[in-house]
Structure 1
Amino acid sequence: MPSIKITTASLNEEAKTDLVKSITASVHSATQIPVEYIHVIFDIVGDDNYAVGGQTVREIKMLSTKKQ
C-alpha cells in the first residue's frame, strides 16, 4: 500500500483535490495497485515556514502582489 507524502505551503481545496486525483491515477497506472490502497498525505506548513530560493513563501507572495 503506497503512501505519498506532499509537503507544501498553503494550498486551496481545489488544488489539493486535483493533486490527489492526479497522483492516485499516476501511481495506479505505474503499479496497477488498486486506488483504494493508495494513500496521499498532505503536510501543510505555514507560508512563514516554507522557503524557496532564500525567501519564505509569504515574502514571495508579497513581492508577487507588488509586481502586479
Structure 2
Amino acid sequence: MRAAPADPVVPGDPGDTTLCGEPTQGMDKLSYTPSGPGAPWFPPNNREWMCGDCDEALCSG
C-alpha cells in the first residue's frame, strides 16, 4: 500500500507518483479516512502491505 499526494488538477485523485516515487498509473485507489489524529494513514488490517518509504515520508512530514 502506497501513498500519493493529491492531483493538483483533479482533487480527490492521486498525483502521478507515490511518495516513494512509484508511478500511480494502474494502481487501485483505496478510499480510507483515518479515525482521528494519530491514527495510521492506512487501514490497520493492511499493515503487511504498507510501503515503508511512503510511511516514512508521511510521518516525517
Q: TM-score range by the shorter chain?
A: under 0.3
Higher strand share: 1
Normalising by structure 1, we get a TM-score of: 0.24
More helix by share: 1
Higher relative contact order (CA 8 A, sep 6+): 1
TM-score, with length taken from structure 2 = 0.25
